[in-house]
Amino acid sequence: AQSVTQLGSHVSVSEGALVLLRCNYSSSVPPYLFWYVQYPNQGLQLLLKYTSAATLVKGINGFEAEFKKSETSFHLTKPSAHMSDAAEYFCAVGPDKLNFGTGTRLQVFP
Partner 1 sequence: DTAVSQTPKYLVTQMGNDKSIKCEQNLGHDTMYWYKQDSKKFLKIMFSYNNKELIINETVPNRFSPKSPDKAHLNLHINSLELGDSAVYFCASSQDPYNEQFFGPGTRLTVL
* Closest approach of partner 1 to the CB of residue 57, in Å: 12
Q: For 56, phi and psi rounded to 5 degrees? A: -100, 115
- Count of residues that interact with partner 1, criterion CB under 8 A: 23
Q: Is residue 35 near partner 1 by the rule CB under 8 A?
A: no
Q: Is residue 98 near partner 1 by the rule CB under 8 A?
A: yes
Q: Measured between alpha carbons, how far is 107 from 87 in angstroms, rounded to an integer?
A: 7
SS3 percent helix, strand, coil of the chain, rounded to 5, is 10, 55, 35
Beta-strand ranges (E) seen in 19-72 are 19-26, 32-38, 44-50, 56-58, 64-68
* Closest approach of partner 1 to the CB of residue 14, in Å: 24
Q: Residue from 46, 54, 60, 83 that binds partner 1 (CB under 8 A)?
A: 46
Q: Is residue 80 near partner 1 by the rule CB under 8 A?
A: no
Binding segment toward partner 1, per CB under 8 A, in 20-28, 53-61, 63-71, 99-107: 99-107
Q: Is residue 64 near partner 1 by the rule CB under 8 A?
A: no
